[in-house]
Chain A
Amino acid sequence: MKSILRQLSTPVIAAVLAMLVGGIVAAAIGYNPLQVYGSLLSGAFGNAYNLGNTLAIATPLILIGLGIAVAFRAGLFNIGAEGQYWVAVMCAAWTGYHFTTLPGWLHIILCLLVAMVAGGLWAGIIPGLAKTYRGAHEVITTMMMSYIGILLCKYMIEEGPMRKPGSMPESEAVAQNTWLPVLSPSSPQLTIGLFIAIAAVIVVWFILFHTTIGFQLRTVGLNPRAARYAGIRVTWYTILALGLSGMLAGLAGGVQLLAMDHRLAEGFNTGYGYTGIVVSLLARNNPFGVIVSAIFFAALSTGGQNMQQVTNIPASLTDVLTGLIIFFVAAERLLPQVIQWYRRRTSRVRTSTAGEGPKSA
């Protein structure tokens, strides 16, 4: 219990500090911080429609953040989730407007599986193999593969074979019966995709902490030399971790395709792959933490739009908040050092005045 509290303390302190500093920033540029946060909160959670919106945006963030957390657990930085997501959407969309004779549920499963395989291969094959056999750093390779993937998708719908006849650069829509069911008519954005994401969290948690695969993955992440000594095939688990990470980014793409966009189109939602990194960072790579952290960032996004409409405060203030959170989470190691420095300073003051009076200890 104590350790759970300790794990929670850093991200919570980081978020609170960021909100505080964000409030000061808002006040400094002439807005009432209470009004800012009030409109942010009501925009994110104020009614069923807004809440549904927030959870709908949280869904892909949960899945991507989860994937990045898996890679982090194995000591790897998967920076290219955005590209894995896009490639998965492309493959799932193609599957979605073919095979239309399949029953809906089977077609959904097929689309999601294709998305996962596509994302997994995009992350696992080239970055994974390049890392294990040539020592190429995965930060570079996943990022480069990400750009390749995004541009490949653009080509496919602009000039490539997936372009639908017509003026808009977009693909055919996926079959109607693959659209994910909406949970409640009052929040039309929210589908059963949220449950898929939560199920994925539970599965990943189980794999990480209750299977030999997870044990080996975490060992490799914490101490690759000890992993080798323990007889673990470090190279294989490096590829596997990147593959799993890409699979989850791919699943995010698949769910998003079937839930919201239904086709591959220009301006298909972007940025989830990058926000996912922050989600995982704030969750400290804890699968369940990812849910909370994803909802938090989704709320910043939906609440920010509302804030702009209601109070004329630029939504980009939420970007300032995001930046501050990243700073304070990353400053985790800084905080103990600041405390230590302060203690040393006071102890020095104390020793130099020792003998002049009773100590205040």
Chain B
Amino acid sequence: MTKFLEVINLVKHFPGVKANDGVNLTVHAGEVHSILGENGAGKSTLMKLIYGLYQPDSGEIRLDGKPVHFSSPRDAIRAGIGMVHQHFMLIPALTVTDNIVLGDEPGGIRYHRSEAEARVRALSEQYRLHVDPTARVEQLSVGLQQRVEILKALYRKAKLLILDEPTALLTPQETEELFAVVKHLKEQGIPVVFISHKLDEVRAIADTITVMRAGKTVQTLPIGDATPQQLANLMVGREVVLRIDKQPANPSGVVLNVENLHVVNSARQEKVRGVSMQVRAGEIFGLAGIDGNGQTELVDAIAGLLPVAGGRIHFQDQDITHLSTAERTARGIAYVPQDRQLDGLVLDFTLTENAILRDFHKHPFSKFGVMFSQPAKAYAEKLIHLFDVRPKDITRKAGDLSGGNQQKVILAREVSREPQLLIAVQPTRGLDVGAIEGIHRQLLRLRDEGKAILLVSLELDEILSLSDRIGVLHGGRLVGVVPGETATREQLGLMMTGMSQEQATKEGTTS
């Protein structure tokens, strides 16, 4: 096989950080090459160097054997490198075609839309990326939007495609479809660089895997040689426990009882339409569903951040339907919100201030409205040591921390409040294997201590490996509740599209 892309001893320093420190990578023509690594391992920096967003301090990038210097993505695109970012760069109000040809439209001053549409159609036929060229992007699902991004790169005659964490926002079915697309691209001779921190996916799609850790490429190995355990150890640099052993749950009384709940969001759409469910002490209740099916509104209503339009919420046998957030917090509801930067933290506050964000008015942090800094500092020190937050410096601002460490700060704060109910929404989103393991352990520890846990996640694997019971939301309704032990990916995936529990079980076993 010919070497298509070669990266030789690439180094990129940022003030105080060696983001890439001697990276070597060879991508052959016609292969799917996966870059596997934890967050902060330097994957994104490497891709940005290849894509011309950053310039290397030293080292060399070769394309087809010739050294290249890209001073901007424009140069990289011209050389045939296409990249699909984790967050799409599309204009929602424009059509698929407009988005794809934007900046490179056929025709001179006049834009030949029909010709553009014909080209897009031909392109999507050729690569089997079916999408309606005349549809508006805002009407497309996330999976289809990703196709538009891929088409955008192919339209610019990409000879190499870089996909940055492409499955982060997809449903299991959409992920399958993406994998089919990637395989087809490979057959057409376009090598794909697939960046991920999910072991299963990498093993399902890649031909070759390069593992990165702490800015260095640790090892490149063909897929046949790699076991998940070996890959995880390479990524983290130590032995990792992949499958968490959990004791059977020992649930007792009902802690949270939601009855026929209706919630209307701030845009006046009814997002929760009559949900009834119970979460018991000593169990993890997993809530699965495709993003936007009412999960956020449901938990916001339970936490008191959204008003209840109908129905009742009982917590420890008391009606809390109309209590304020502060009162619910005081009664023992802890909440790890979905968006850690927007809701969970004040990024311009120090770790100390963030550690007491929900308890600042309590003893010993304050008395008669006067705050005392010493107890707060001591408490923050305790939290960051217990949860291994890095850097271990309580005077740092939360915004200076990596995503994983920010999440640790929130989890540390919420767990240490000794709650009776912990609501955790996407607690491991964007985190690496090592951090996920730690957070899952914490959740199970709380469960075994007899707390009730409501876990909302878009990751089916997370739901499946942790939950004792799993509820599936679709269109604001609870489609069904299945026991965690017997649930399968297929069954849940079908229920997430609105299929009833019985039908999904049948379909899941026959297919």
Q: Which residue of B lies closest to A354 (CB)?
A: B69
B371: contacting residue among A212, A230, A233, A347, CB under 8 A: A212
- Our pick among A210, A223, A230, A354 for the contact of B342 (Cβ within 8 Å) is A223
* Also in contact, A230 and B358, with CB within 8 A (given A219-B346, A222-B348, A351-B55): yes
Choose, from B271-279, B280-288, B321-329, B486-494, the stretch at the interface: B321-329
Question: Interface size bucket, A side?
Answer: 20 to 34
Question: B346 near A222 (CB under 8 angstroms)?
Answer: yes
Determine chain A's interface SS by DSSP, over half rule. helix
Q: Are B305 and A228 within 8 A (Cβ)?
A: yes
- The listed residue with most A CB atoms (<10 A of its CB), out of B324, B327, B349, is B349
* A231/B370 contact (C-beta < 8 A), A219-B357, A226-B346, A351-B71 known: no
Interface residue range, chain B: 20 to 34
Kindly provide the distance from the CB of B66 to the nearest chain A CB, expressed in whole angstroms.
Answer: 14
Instruction: Give the residues in chain A near B327, CB-CB below 8 Å.
Output: 231
The answer for the CA separation of A17 and B304 in the assembled complex, in Å, is: 50
Q: Any chain B CB within 8 A of the CB of A98? A: no
Return B363 CB to nearest CB of chain A, in Å.
12
Across chains A and B, which 4 residue pairs bring their CB atoms closest together, nearest first? A231-B326, A231-B325, A223-B346, A348-B71
**Quick one: which of B343-357 are within 8 Å of A by CB?**
343-349, 353, 357
- A222 contacts across to B, CB distance below 8 A: 346-349
Counting CB contacts under 8 A, is B16 at the interface?
no
Known: A223-B342, A229-B344. A211 touches B371 (CB 8 A): yes
B127 CB-CB contact with A under 8 Å: no
Chain A 106-118 near chain B by CB (<8 Å), digits 1 or 0? 0000000000000
A319–B347 Cα gap in the complex (Å)?
37
**Is B369 at the interface (CB under 8 A from chain A)?**
yes
Q: A210-B371, A212-B360, A351-B71 are in contact. Are A228 and B366 (CB under 8 A)?
A: no
Q: Is the CB of B371 within 8 A of A215?
A: yes
Contact of A226 among B55, B71, B343 (CB under 8 A): B343
B358 CB contacts on chain A under 8 angstroms: 229-231
> Given contacts A225-B343, A348-B55, could you give 15 more A-B pairs where the C-beta distance is less than 8 Å?
A210-B373, A211-B371, A212-B370, A215-B360, A219-B357, A222-B347, A222-B349, A223-B347, A226-B345, A230-B358, A230-B360, A232-B326, A233-B326, A351-B55, A354-B69
Encode A212-249 as 1/0 by CB contact (under 8 A) with B: 11111011001101111111110000000000000000
Report the minimum CB–CB distance from A71 to chain B (whole Å). Answer: 17
Indicate if the CB atoms of A226 and B360 lie closer than 8 Å: no
Mask, A331-347, CB within 8 Å of B = 1, is 00000000000000001
23 contacts between A and B (CB under 8 A): A210-B370, A211-B369, A212-B369, A212-B370, A215-B353, A216-B360, A218-B349, A219-B349, A219-B357, A222-B346, A222-B349, A223-B342, A225-B342, A226-B344, A226-B345, A229-B343, A230-B357, A231-B324, A231-B358, A233-B326, A351-B55, A351-B71, A352-B69
Most interface-central of A210, A216, A226, A352 (chain B CB within 10 A): A226
B3 sits at the interface (CB 8 A): no
B335 within 8 A of A: yes
| Minimum CB–CB distance for B351 against chain A, Å | 14
Residue B289 interfacial (CB < 8 Å):
no
Q: Which residues in window 22-69 of A have CB below 8 A to B?
A: none
B361 within 8 A of A: yes
A residues less than 8 Å from B361 (CB atoms): 212
